Amino acid sequence: MEEARATALSAVEAREIDAALAHAERPAAAYLDALKILQQHRRWVSDEALAALAAHLGVAPERLESLATFYNLIFRRPVGRHVILLCDSVTCWMLGEEKLRDHLRAQLGIGFGETTADGRFTLLPVPCLGACDHAPAAWIDGDLHTDLTETKLERILEAYA
């Protein structure tokens, strides 16, 4: 988690953020992209990272905080190496989301908003993933997994070391 606490932006981060700014019609249109770039490199956006980004963009940290706290997929608290986003919307709930959640609690010892002690997994709820015809569904590190059962999910998680 060290990199998340680094105060300055890395050269790579700064370059990617500047590219997003150059592409945007107005600078503010790229603020969310800038937060996403930081998170891609650091997994989550710490207070220090947010302050560094604010200084880079020449805006108050609160301006970025207003975005970071609004959008669901910007993480303002540490997350594990892999983030399991389990759909908890209506069709997935009907077709076994709670069972999957119970299973993850038993297998990994974590519930929503928690990270395993070894820092491997964080479990978070996510609204409807648009895969309702293949419910229940989860989204892990950008991969969509569907038609989940307890055993299928357990097997899928093995691939995320």
Q: Which amino acid is at 132?
A: C
Token pair for residue 100?
A: 């999957």
Angle at the Cα of 101 (from 98 to 104), degrees rounded to 5?
155
Q: Is 72 in the site for other proteins (CB under 8 A)?
A: yes
In this chain, which of 8, 12, 19, 28 binds other proteins, going by CB under 8 A?
28
Calpha distance 21→160 (Å, rounded): 33
Q: Whose Cβ is closer to other proteins: residue 47's or residue 147's?
A: 147
Q: Is 62 in the site for other proteins (CB under 8 A)?
A: no
In this chain, which of 93, 103, 120, 154 binds other proteins, going by CB under 8 A?
93
In this chain, which of 10, 91, 107, 116 binds other proteins, going by CB under 8 A?
91
Q: Which amino acid is at 27?
A: P
Supply the minimum distance, in Å, between the C-beta of residue 87 and other proteins. Answer: 9
Is the bond preceding residue 127 a cis peptide, omega within 30 degrees? no
Token pair for residue 53?
A: 């980004």
Token pair for residue 120?
A: 């491997």
Q: Is 58 in the site for other proteins (CB under 8 A)?
A: no
Site of interaction with other proteins (CB under 8 A): 23, 25-32, 35-36, 66-67, 70-74, 88-91, 93-95, 126-135, 139, 142, 144
